Structure 1
């Protein structure tokens, strides 16, 4: 057997493996359909496109599919291929919001007609695959604008408050599990996401006033409040400030106590910038297995940290550094559900258990969950929130 034949067989093996990874069970159907008309094209697709280019590890499958759908959308006239690659993109780990971001990028460089066609096909493919896309709208606050998601309807309202450094999208995998039972509302806290560069937060009470402001503007006299990390601390403060507005309280992976590390993190960002915050933040928030997989939760969190502004980041950490809830917790008399992650390095179960002292308080630990439970254990967290809410309403 010649060297050329060996190389061709090796390229074919590489191409077949790469194609199978992207196209899955439809690989044979694709090749049979093309091969029935042109065996040369079918062979070239496997050996050249997949064997020599797509099989290279310089780009991951997710990155390649994101580039592919952008190019097909920008070119136009490739609707069949675009539809197929949108399906492949979702199958290999991209999420609807990343697809829509690609559509929006195409609008800038290839124009709106191409982007709108791409958007229509993306919407159809996502619907066929049962993928949910949650969209937030610009929402005016008393001194800044933010982004707010509101599922609407006449169910009991449930407001979700996100963690420091992230935004409302932290809840995107939890929301569809809660909307059958609640009108779910989530927004970007002051200083993050669509509320970046807003007038800086002064203290925890300032964040709580923002929650009340959102409720006022939505004409909500009461709501169930659930918060994770910083969001949980804000929920506690709101319950102390305006207990009558809080129908029930679910506190997730949060603290009521200050630690020296909070001020240190603010100063570290001011000295070293946001890129230096990626490693310490993500290793606190996730397990090693999450970081190794580099799925959407990790990609999303990494992008949030990198894009945050140092003043907003530091102001939020200084808010937690100045937290003073310890001697006030007895003032929270309304029912409270507490949820911790078993593997949480930031707010371990032992810390959160201190919040259980008092009447009408439930406590649940989600097994093997790190700090960012909403991103890694969305189903378990949604079930725990629903259980907490049902107990609180009983």
Structure 2
């Protein structure tokens, strides 16, 4: 394969179409320039494997944005970055990063280009975020949807509200959807420690109070499911329905061991055991956004918050205390969940009279990050909406 063939192959691999299509004007007016771009750049340095195509497109977007004055080329590489699996949220964060090193004028121009490409491709707009003061700390609440029944989403231990972002767009059709960071996580990192499941339940109710919501459809995954159940036991009058995803109604012996490991071994040591519990081998091999996001959240987690959260979760005490008579309950299991297995989840459903049990095929523990399509469909079917 000569440099011209290699350049055409790499250009198509990066950008999704041949160089003749995108650089037709260059080819017509200056074949030499076309050759220099395709053979010299794409057939040379850009074809080397030391940097992934995803990394190269992120670098290209950052460099062109920082230089300024090349918006057409910037838009082309934003499209290329999206093609390589870069998420819109990552591109928006990159614009913020550019503001630090290249200044706000360049960053704002880049942001305009990124937003233009996302709109052109029909991408969903990010949720609106609010800073909310709770009893003893501040948190962030993301909101999608302006009318309809209120839905509140409680995330898993170790991540933050963005765990729900892949399903929020669909759930917001005819609903007001709120996803928040619970204490020790995300914007609520460093909240007073130690804390209990009752504290976490009170925080969820505090979020509802901040938005004048008397009664909400409560959805929780993993530890978030423990919080949701605690709310349902402590304040059933505030719960319109309950959806329990990949969770438990009793503590596991491993919770204290995970707390101690975070304290003694640090957060880097938590990455492998956590991600292999959360995701399938296929997802870990292909490393999509959900895996990258979860890995980075764990790596950056404060070990004291990690230990406090596991010790709070160790206090979950709801088994046999949900009647299923006050509100509809959905129990949503993942077929491939190695942490809260279908057997565990069906046991929960069996202890909640009148609940609905549903199993998602090919789905591991971190349902919304690996199979958001199936989760969104199941929740959309279960939750009422104004349409």
TM-score for both structures, normalised by structure 2:
0.95
Moved more, 22-31 or 300-309: 22-31
Instruction: Find the partner of 2:249 among 253, 256, 269.
Output: 256
8 Å Cα contact 2:215-2:237 kept in structure 1:
yes
Q: 2:110 aligns with which of 82, 98, 118?
A: 118
Unaligned runs of 5+ in 2: none
Q: Partners in 2 of 1:273 and 1:363 — Cα distance?
A: 37
Specify which of 329, 350, 354 is matched with residue 360 of structure 1.
354
Q: Please give the alpha-carbon distance, in whole angstroms, between the structure 1 residues aligned to 2:35 and 2:190.
A: 54
Residue deviations 1:156-205 (CA, integer Å, cap 9, x gap): 11111111111111111101111113111101111111111121351111
> How far 1:141 moved relative to its partner?
2.0
Distance (Å, rounded) in 2 between the aligned partners of 1:150 and 1:12: 49
Whether the 8 Å CA contact 2:334–2:364 is kept in 1: the answer is yes
Q: Which moved more, 1:93-102 or 1:20-29?
A: 20-29
Shift of 1:332: 7.0
Of 375, 378, 392, the residue aligned with 2:372 is 378
Show the counterpart of 1:4: none
| Structure 2: distance between partners of 1:365 and 1:210 | 29
1 or 2, which has the higher helix percentage? 1
Residues 342, 94 of structure 1: CA spacing in aligned structure 2 closer, same or farther, 3 A cutoff? same
Find the residue that maps to 1:225 and give its secondary structure: strand
Partner of 2:42: 50
C-alpha distance in 2, partners of 1:137/1:89? 29
Matches within 5 A, 1:141-220: 141-220=134-213
Q: Which residue of 1 aligns with 2:315?
A: 322
Cα deviation 1:370-389 (Å, max 9, x = unaligned): 00111111111111112222
- Alpha-carbon deviations, 1:249-279, whole Å to 9, x = none? 0000000111111111111111110011111
- Alpha carbon RMSD of aligned pairs, Å? 1.7
Q: CA deviation at 1:220?
A: 0.4
8 Å CA contact 2:324, 2:354 repeated in 1: no
2:287 aligned with 1:305: no
1:29 aligns with 2:29: no
Contact 2:8–2:43 (CA under 8 A) maintained in structure 1: yes
Q: Equivalents in 1 of 2:272, 2:21: separation in Å?
A: 43
Out of 120, 124, 127, the position equivalent to 1:132 is 124
349-358 or 100-109, larger mean C-alpha shift? 349-358
In 1: Cα distance, 2:289 partner to 2:306 partner? 22
- Is contact 1:334-1:360 (8 Å) kept? no
Q: 2:234 — aligned with what?
A: 241
Per-residue deviation at 1:226? 0.5
For residue 250 of structure 1, give the secondary structure of its aligned residue in structure 2: strand
- Report runs of 4+ in structure 1 exceeding 3 Å deviation: 329-333
Q: CA contact under 8 A between 2:325 and 2:354: conserved in structure 1?
A: no
Q: Secondary structure at the match of 2:124?
A: coil
Indicate if the aligned counterparts of 2:333 and 2:341 stay in contact, CA closer than 8 A.
yes
SS of residue paired to 2:44 = helix
Please name the residue that 2:284 is paired with: 291
Structure-2 separation of matches of 1:40 and 1:310: 57
Distance (Å, rounded) in 2 between the aligned partners of 1:107 and 1:223: 39
Structure 1 pair 358–327 and aligned structure 2 pair: CA distance change class (3 A):
closer
Question: Are the counterparts in 1 of residues 339 and 365 from structure 2 also a CA contact under 8 Å?
Answer: yes
Q: Indicate conservation of the 8 Å contact 1:257/1:326, yes or no.
A: yes
* 1:330 positional shift: 4.4
Give the C-alpha shift of residue 139 in structure 1: 2.4
| 1:10 to 2:2 alignment | yes
The alignment of Structure 1 onto Structure 2 pairs a total of residues equal to 384
- Is 1:227–1:235's contact at 8 Å kept on the other side of the alignment? yes
Alpha-carbon distance in 2 for matches of 1:315, 1:263: 10
Q: 1:16 Cα shift?
A: 1.9
1:89 aligns with 2:112: no
Structure 1, gaps ≥5 residues long: 1-8
